[in-house]
A and B are shown apart, each in its own frame.
Chain A
Amino acid sequence: MLTVEHVGKELSGKLILHDVNLEFERGVYGLLAPNGAGKTTLIKLLATLLTPDAGAIRWDGEDIVGMGERYRSLIGYLPQDFGYYPNHSPRRFLKYIATLQGVPRDEIAPRIDELLAMVHLSDQADRKMRTLSGGMIRRVGIAQALIHRPRILLLDEPTAGLDPKERVRFRNIVHNLAADHIVVIATHIVSDLETIADRIVMLGDATVREADEPAAICERLEGRIYEVPSGYVLHDGQLKLSEIQRGGETAKRIYSPDPIPESADRGIESVHPGLEDAFLLTYRD
């Protein structure tokens, strides 16, 4: 089990994380927060690219910084700004990373073939990476993170640059890994997590604002999310979350702390809350 205990981090004099406590077991964890809320900092702390100023991160009770190589062999990391060598092919790049990750020589070639097939890049395996699309590069990034069969996958904005089809493919890959991996995905795209995350962690004001199952987070908003006509005037405590298209007309999706009588005539309808509603409510201006 990976545990984050009272972790604090300051960067350039700015408090990024304060007294963060989290536990990660097998499954998919979504770090959901707007840009600048500390997602990447937390991922970098989990990847030992940064050390906590306060508290500790432990793997099965052992401080990950002290574990050094033993911990690094457990993690697969996809950085937000994934770099690559443009003049090399995905196959050569993966071979290099496999070597650095200590994969035994005789296992490297079959593992690369397996991963390239998994991310649907077998046809592009020997093309120079500079000729690949952003989405393909991202898929190479996912493959490199998995090359040494890590137990913990740290993915920072993994779907940036992926088209909708590739996003679905990515979600399927992550879903298949969830059974025997800890997968931590940092993103601000709610749809990336809605269907695959076992637990959502929302960061804000340098700390954890929410850490729960998506269903539980949504359940707390049950009976408080409404779709109303665009002309509806908001009352005290009510908040506009988003604008939507309903029956060819623009409508509003709102949060109301108190129940609103539903009315088909007036176009007021109570709806099931989604993760996006929770996100928008948590991070309202």
Chain B
Amino acid sequence: MNEQIPYPTEAERERSIRHIVAMGVPRRVGLWASLVDVVRSLGVRSLFFGVGDCVFLGLMTAFVAWAPLFAALFGAAGASRMRAGSFADAAASPTAMAQMTMMQERALWIAHHADVLLVAVFLVSPLLHMAISLLMMLREREVRMLDLLRTCRWSFRQIAAIRMLALGAMSTVMCVAFGVAVGVAGLRLDAVTVLGVSFSSLFVFALGQLAVERHCAWPASALVMPAIWLVLGTVLWLTRAAVAPWLAQLPPAVCLAVGLASAAVYLASLNAYCRKPVAIA
């Protein structure tokens, strides 16, 4: 017996080692890979399966909160147009004249206190995210699905991260819509500042929510951030006379940079959250 044993080549050995390591070390799937997988395999319907009504209710809540801000903007814009136009026409009718005067007064108030809108935007921006994530958490608890979902092949952490990403995207759409509306209304407010404030608020909240979910147990995981936001909102609203001018004076580019940086940190944190192994007690 003097057979030559064919030893593996260096490349074959390296390939085998890589294969063994790949099998032995748990796969860390990042946010973007998860997003692609979710869109391909799960679809949006499965992503929000069983919590569709929570999403709808959250959207309604956000709509109710944003509506007065949009109304204020368009009211101010409309009144400005009226001022430029047909006072003479309205003078013919005393009722129309009274109505127009009232609208104009309101528009003037908004125009003079436009910076207060920044405080309102800061408070309202995370509302959609807050409402939907809170409702979804309550629903998953109510239907007692969490344990089962955590044993599924798809990591529940990945699904939660993609849900948060979707909520962030929906909220961003609202913020951008308001920023555009500010630009269109032609108020004494800078649309870029509005966007910056809105993004900062949204993503700071989202970051806080993510941190709380990672480190706090139920029910703190659901209640801490809304409670903090409620307290912060009350304080900001009570001190709006001082806070609003300060916000309005911030350079728009700085505001936007802070907002975008918050968004970047949020995405990075979400990615890290996604890559962490399954949540275990």
Contact = CB atoms under 8 A, between A and B. Distances in A.
Pick the most buried of B27, B151, B277: most chain A CB atoms within 10 A of its CB.
Answer: B151
Given A48-B280, A66-B26, A85-B49, A101 B147 contact: no
Interface stretch (A30-38, A74-82, A198-206, A215-223): A74-82
A48 B149 CA distance: 12
Interface string A53-80: 0000000001001111110110101010
A49 B147 contact: yes
Nearest to B155: A69
B49 A101 contact: no
B150 A49 contact: yes
Contacts of B25: 66
Contact of A48 (B24, B27, B146, B278): B278
Interface string A131-171: 00000000000001000100000000000000000000000
Contacts of B71: none
Interface in B33-62: 41-43, 46, 49-50, 53
A177 B24 CA distance: 29
B147 A79 contact: yes
Nearest to A147: B152
B144 interface: yes
A259 interface: no
Contact of A49 (B41, B43, B281): B281
Nearest to B42: A99
A85 B151 contact: no
A77 B46 contact: no
B235 interface: no
Contacts of B147: 44, 47, 49, 77, 79, 81, 83
Nearest to B158: A69
B148 A101 contact: no
A196 interface: no
B63 interface: no
A50 interface: yes
Contact of A69 (B53, B144, B153): B153
A119 interface: no
A257 interface: no
A97 interface: yes
B145 A83 contact: yes
B238 interface: no
B5 interface: no
Nearest to A46: B151
Contacts of A68: 26-27, 155, 277-278
A100 B143 contact: no
Category for how many chain B residues contact A: 20 to 34
B143 A50 contact: no
Nearest to A81: B144
B148 A96 contact: no
Contacts, number: 92
A96 B278 contact: no
- Central interface residue in B53, B146, B148, B281, by most chain A CB within 10 Å: B148
Interface string A230-263: 0000000000000000000000000000000000
Contacts of B145: 83-85
B109 interface: no
A13 B152 CA distance: 29
Interface string B16-35: 00000000111100000000
Given A100-B149, A102-B41, A50 B49 contact: no
Contact of A88 (B42, B50, B149, B159): B50
A96 B153 contact: no
B151 A47 contact: yes
Contacts of A67: 26
Contacts of A187: none
Contact of B154 (A51, A81, A102): A102
Interface string A166-185: 00000000000000000000
Interface string A87-124: 11000000011011110000000000000000000000
A47 B280 CA distance: 10
Contacts of A82: 144, 148
A184 to B, nearest CB: 13
A115 to B, nearest CB: 16
Contacts of B26: 66-70
Name the 9 nearest CB pairs between A and B, nearest first. A83-B144, A85-B50, A68-B26, A100-B152, A83-B145, A77-B151, A73-B153, A102-B153, A83-B143
Interface of B: 24-27, 41-43, 46, 49-50, 53, 143-155, 159, 277-278, 280-281
9 contacts: A48-B280, A49-B147, A72-B152, A73-B153, A84-B143, A86-B143, A100-B46, A100-B153, A101-B153
Given A100-B149, A148-B153, 14 more contacts: A47-B151, A48-B150, A48-B151, A48-B278, A49-B281, A66-B26, A68-B27, A72-B151, A73-B153, A77-B151, A79-B144, A83-B145, A88-B49, A101-B152
